[in-house]
Amino acid sequence: MKKYKLITVSQIFTQKGLVERANKQLNEYAEQGWEVVEMRKGWSGLFFSTLYILFVNIGDTN
């Protein structure tokens, strides 16, 4: 059975902050054996720009 993980990264003030936080999260999960399946940009409930990132664990073979 594949394992999935969904994270969100929200922009509060600047686009640069969003990109830096997203890169940090992506690198941390990649080191743990997770691979990005899909990324989408949307809006949070407070109208902050948000990235939704879906991961699958590539080390899981069941």
User: What average pLDDT score do residues 37-62 get?
Assistant: 81
Q: CATH 1.10.3470: does it fit domain 4-56?
A: no
* Dihedral (Cα; 30, 5, 54, 35), 10-degree rounding: 30
Q: DSSP secondary structure string, 11-58?
A: -SS-HHHHHHHHHHHHHHHHHTTEEEEEEEEEE-TTS-EEEEEEEEET
pLDDT digits (tens, 9 = 90+) for 11-41: 766 666 777 878 888 899 999 999 999 989 8
